[in-house]
Amino acid sequence: FYSINNAVITIAGDINIENTITLIKNAYGSIPMQNTPKFQESPNQINKSNKIITLDMPAEMEMVLMGYPGSIGNQSDSPIIDILLYILTEGETSRLYRKLVYEKEHCTDIFGDFHWGFSNELITFGYRIHPGKNFKKVLTDFDVEILNIFNKKINDTELQKAKNGIITSIVEELT
């Protein structure tokens, strides 16, 4: 996959297009193209039952990690997953943070993650549980918030905030 014909160049700013193309051709034009292997998509092997693994180690704080099947990055539901994850986990005003950290005081922190990739990626959620609190209550409250997405829907303010936040993070990654 590491070949000039499989490369991406990102350019930003007030540029002269002709000069920029000339610079790119001068810098990379003499590098020979290579045959790139054809991507082999692996078959989906989704676990359809709950699986709980407990790792018991001395720690100051209990932590719960959960994963759900996501999607392949080029599918139309990947941006939707990003938006839902942002609404649920990004920042102190996110739904899960407000519910689990502020209201219920079950957790000290929550987070979520989803990477677009070439195969089905996991949507992950993580919780740092307050000492003396029960992680099963966290899971119950998590389920309630997921149901609220479907029952109470997402309001326009939440949706716009998520879109703005995602665009901002993409721009920040480029700088």
Instruction: Calculate mean pLDDT across residues 30-55.
Output: 73
Indicate the pairing of strand 62-69 with strand 107-113.
unpaired
| Per-residue model confidence as pLDDT tens digits over 60-78 | 788 888 888 888 777 888 8
Q: Which of 140, 118, 92 is nearest to 38 (CA)?
A: 118
What's the confidence (pLDDT) of residue 75? 81
Q: Where do the DSSP E strands lie in 106-171? A: 107-113, 122-129
63: helix, strand or coil? strand
39: confidence class by pLDDT, cuts 50, 70, 90: low
Q: Indicate the pTM of the whole model.
A: 0.70
Residue 64 β-bridge partners: 127
Predicted confidence (pLDDT) at residue 57 exceeds the cutoff of 90: no
Strand order in the sheet with 62-69: 62-69, 122-129, 107-113
Q: Could you give the CA distance from residue 101 to residue 89 in angstroms, rounded to a whole number? A: 11
| Per-residue model confidence as pLDDT tens digits over 128-148 | 999 888 888 888 999 999 899
Q: Could you give the CA distance from residue 141 to residue 41 in angstroms, rounded to a whole number? A: 36
